[in-house]
Amino acid sequence: MLDVKFVVENIEAVKKALEARGDQANLDEVEMLYKKRKEYAGMCDALRHEQKLVSEEFRTSKDEQERETLRNRSKELARKIRTMEEMLSQVDSQLKHALLSIPNMPHSTVPIGKSEQENVVVRTWGEPRTFNFQPKEHFEIGERLGILDFESARKIAGARFVVYRGIGAKLERALANFMLDLHVLEHGYTEIFPPYLVTQECMVGTGQLPKFEEEMYLVRDGFYLIPTAEVPVTNLHRDEILDAKVLPIKYCAYSACFRREAGSYGKDVRGMTRVHQFQKVELVKFCTPETSYDELESLVNDAEKVLQRLEIPYRVVALCTADLGFASAKTYDIEAFFPGQNTYREVSSCSNFEAFQARRANIRFRREQGKKPEFVHTLNGSGLAIGRTIIAILENYQQEDGSVVVPKALRPYLGVDKIVPIS
> What is the arrangement of strands in the sheet containing 217-218, beginning at the earlier edge strand?
197-198, 224-225, 217-218
**Separation CA 320–CA 344 (nearest Å):** 17
Whether the Cβ atoms of residue 208 and residue 325 lie closer than 8 Å to each other: no
Segments of the chain assigned to CATH 1.10.287.40: 4-100
**Separation CA 135–CA 155 (nearest Å):** 29
Q: Which residues contact 30 (CB under 8 A, 6 or more apart)?
A: 4, 7, 8, 95, 98, 99, 102
With CA atoms as reference, report the closest residue to 348 among 395, 397, 299. Answer: 299
Residue type, 29: E
Gyration radius from the chain CA atoms: 27
Q: What is the pLDDT of residue 269?
A: 66
Q: What is the pLDDT of residue 22?
A: 92
With CA atoms as reference, report the closest residue to 179 among 229, 221, 129, 137. Answer: 229
Which pTM does this prediction carry? Answer: 0.93
With CA atoms as reference, report the closest residue to 183 among 379, 332, 392, 383. Answer: 383
Q: Give how far Cα 7 sits from Cα of 29, 35, 106, 404, Å.
A: 11, 12, 14, 54
Segments of the chain assigned to CATH 3.30.930.10: 116-419
What is the SS3 assignment for 354? coil
User: Mean pLDDT per 10-residue run, the chain (423 residues)?
Assistant: 95 95 90 96 95 92 91 94 96 95 96 96 97 97 96 96 97 98 98 98 97 94 97 98 98 97 60 95 98 98 98 98 97 98 97 98 96 98 98 98 97 97 74
**Separation CA 64–CA 57 (nearest Å):** 12
The DSSP secondary-structure symbol of 128 reads P
Q: What is the pLDDT of residue 264?
A: 46
Q: What is the pLDDT of residue 190?
A: 98
Torsion of CA 192, 194, 200, 201, to 10 degrees: -30
**Separation CA 174–CA 364 (nearest Å):** 37
At residue 334, φ and ψ (nearest 5 deg) are: -105, 120
> What CATH code is assigned to 116-419?
3.30.930.10
Q: What is the pLDDT of residue 76?
A: 95
What is the SS3 assignment for 41? helix
Whether the Cβ atoms of residue 363 and residue 237 lie closer than 8 Å to each other: yes
Q: Which residues contact 1 (CB under 8 A, 6 or more apart)?
A: 99, 100, 102, 356, 359, 360
Residue type, 397: Y
> What CATH code is assigned to 4-100?
1.10.287.40
For CA atoms 252, 254, 258, 263, the dihedral sign is: positive
Q: What is the pLDDT of residue 31?
A: 95
Q: Which residues contact 12 (CB under 8 A, 6 or more apart)?
A: none
